[in-house]
Structure 1
Amino acid sequence: MTEEILTLPEVAQLLKVAEKTVHTTTQKGEPPAFKVGGPWRFRRTDLTAWIDAETRRASGEEDSK
């Protein structure tokens, strides 16, 4: 099974934010990404896990554990 790799513009579209926002936050370490040459790349599975974790954090679920 091949894991889907997304580009920065694709992630921006997925998250419904500007590409600059994705670029700036990625440089700070979130969402999880890696570089191939110069451009950032994102694994869809990593993004899904990150979105789930951020959703739980925002709803306070992690605080109740």
Structure 2
Amino acid sequence: MTSSADEGKILTLKQVADFLKVTERTIYRLAAAKQIPAFKVGGTWRFSKAEINQWIQRQQEVGKADKT
């Protein structure tokens, strides 16, 4: 669940990579392939923290469904 402080928070590619503990290149590839919620501002990727948290929840649900 997201807190109200996270609602409007916008993250950079590096911040998302750090948050998810993956490389920046991985996040870039996911964003370019539209596999993670992202948008561009002036040619650079930006991410809504609330949308990233929702995406994480969906990934966890998919993982649970795969185990059954």
Q: Same fold (TM over 0.5)?
A: yes
1:32 and 2:37 are equivalent in the alignment: yes
Please list the CA deviations of residues 24-55 of structure 1 after superposition, one character each: whole Å capped at 9, or x if unmatched: 11100021000001110000010000000000
What SS does structure 1 have at the residue aligned with 2:52?
helix
Stretches of 4+ moved more than 6 A in 1? none
Once residues 53 and 20 of structure 1 are traced to their aligned partners in structure 2, the CA distance between those partners, rounded to angstroms, is 22
Matches within 5 A, 1:1-65: 3-60=8-65
What SS does structure 1 have at the residue aligned with 2:46?
strand
CA-CA distance at 1:22 after TM superposition: 0.3
Runs of 5+ in structure 1 lacking a partner? none
Once residues 47 and 30 of structure 2 are traced to their aligned partners in structure 1, the CA distance between those partners, rounded to angstroms, is 13
What SS does structure 1 have at the residue aligned with 2:47?
strand
Question: What TM-score, normalized to structure 2?
Answer: 0.84
Q: RMSD of aligned C-alpha atoms?
A: 1.7
Once residues 50 and 31 of structure 1 are traced to their aligned partners in structure 2, the CA distance between those partners, rounded to angstroms, is 7
Length, aligned pairs only:
62
Identity of aligned residues (%): 37
